[in-house]
Amino acid sequence: MSTLVDHSSVVLYRAPWVIPVTSQTIHNGVVVVHRGRIKAVGPWNEFSTIYSKSPIYNCSGVLMPGLVNAHIHLELSVLGVVSQENPNSTMCDWVRSLLQKRLACQYSEEEIHFAAAKCAHNQFESGVVVLLDTGNTTLPSLSGETPDIHSLLELIGPSAKATQAALLTLDGLAEDVFPTGHAPYSTSPQLLQSIKQRASVKKSVFSLHVEESRDEALLLLQGEGCFYDFLQDRDALDGTFPLAVNSCKSVVDYLHKIEVLDEKTICVHCVFVSDDDIQILAGAKSHVCLCPGSNKFLGVGKARLETFLAHDIIPALGTDSLASNPELSMWHEMALLREEHPAVAPETILAMATIAGASAIGREADYGSLEPGKSSNFIGIEDKKISTAVSEKEVLEILTVIDKPERVIRYSE
């Protein structure tokens, strides 16, 4: 259940627990809001007298930043779940099934938009305040209650012919359309560099699927694997792959050499990156976004979260699309990470779902933590499990394994 509370003047939000994320959890805390911005965060006894005449909203559980979904494909929502045929199916088999279903069903624009809006609303109801959406088409503004949506137009061009067509599309884009690449196996070096150049000029995020499957490196470096067969079947092999750059040691090394890795780049999935790759990403200050739910559904493996953390990279978190993730919940993503990486502290997992995502998308000035100056668009979580918690450690543990809170309260200007 989700409840929306609006405010325009000074308002106090009080709860047994306030979790700023970037600072210590506060027991019996308060968030002070004025004109849509957080004015102060701290213990209740420090502010109750100062603002004694201000209205107070009480939350019986936790006040915390809204969640940030750093990777989703809203336009695929209309397809529903696209299952793997059998346990031995490759990611390429799933991509084939996805494309076949997309072509066979011939959904109307209205159906695509309705499903996307419904998905976005469900994200909103679950406590997501901002998301990074990537699609092959430009969706119109979605009606109803949705998170703050930052949209990227995904361009694909694995061959010289497809690259030229994509470059023409790129040249003709409106100023308010922000392009990005799909993946190294589906986007030529020339196209990736051109997209990245435009993104740099626009100071836009550049998001790319990276090392989601071992077959990506096999295609790029050796001209083998299921993606090679996939492109061959679609008559999309013309010498672009394998790469002519023999000095590349890996996919990440290749991306580094063609200069598309920097602080505005988000590498999504990163399941099969090496220690050297992670060192490259850290040196480039690139962001990483993990999608454990989608990876588990597709059977591609688990990302090396502990190694990222050891290199001072706190990955963002995303759900990917409904086509590859039946749960499509940031709460489920956190719970799955806790299950797969029990040694990782719950406060780190919570940071991945909030401030790490906001920083990756470039929205940390507004979202990701409870701090003065940030947006009052935050959330309250109420659940009987939280009501019995007696310590900060226990509260953080509950939040990151709860999977589905009983009540999400949306506080918004």
Helix (H) or strand (E) holding 98: helix 91-105
Identify the CA nearest to 95 among candidates 87, 105, 85. 85
List CB contacts of 350: < 8 A, sequence separation 6 or more. 19, 21, 64, 334, 396, 399, 400
Laid out side by side, the sheet with 179-181 consists of 67-72, 128-135, 148-155, 179-181
DSSP letters of 26-95?
EEEEEEEEETTEEEEEEEHHHHTTTTTTS-EEE-SSEEEEPEEEEEE-GGGGGG-----SSTT--HHHHH
Q: Please give the distance of CA 89 from its chain centroid, rounded to a whole number.
A: 26
**In a structure prediction context, what are the per-residue pLDDT tens digits for the chain, which is 413 residues long?**
555 544 448 999 999 999 999 999 999 999 999 999 999 999 999 998 999 899 999 999 999 999 999 999 999 999 999 988 788 889 999 999 999 998 888 899 999 999 999 999 999 999 999 999 999 988 888 878 999 999 999 999 999 999 999 999 999 999 999 999 999 999 999 999 999 999 999 999 999 999 999 999 999 999 999 999 999 999 999 999 998 766 899 999 999 999 999 999 999 999 999 999 999 999 999 999 999 999 999 999 999 999 999 999 999 999 999 999 999 999 999 999 999 999 999 999 999 999 999 999 999 999 999 999 999 999 999 999 999 999 999 999 999 999 999 999 999 75
Tokens of 409: 């309260």
What is d(CA 404, CA 186) in angstroms, rounded to the nearest whole number? 36
Q: What is the pLDDT of residue 413?
A: 56
Identify the CA nearest to 31 among candidates 8, 64, 3, 9. 64
Percent of the chain that is helix, strand, coil (3-state, to 5) = 40, 20, 40
What is d(CA 366, CA 369) in angstroms, rounded to the nearest whole number? 8
Quote the pTM value: 0.96
Q: Please give the distance of CA 163 from its chain centroid, rounded to a whole number.
A: 27
Sign (positive or negative) of CA dihedral 399, 400, 403, 408: positive
What is d(CA 250, CA 178) in angstroms, rounded to the nearest whole number? 28
Identify the CA nearest to 209 among candidates 348, 70, 310, 314. 70
CB 401 within 8 A of CB 335: yes
Task: Identify the structural domains of the chain with CATH numbers, from first to last.
Answer: 2-65+369-412 (2.30.40.10), 67-361 (3.20.20.140)
For the chain, the C-alpha Rg in angstroms (whole number) is: 22
CA distances to 62, 63, 83, 84, 410 from 399, rounded to whole Å, are 9, 11, 29, 31, 16
Q: Euclidean distance between the first and final Cα of the chain, in Å?
A: 20
CB 65 within 8 A of CB 408: no
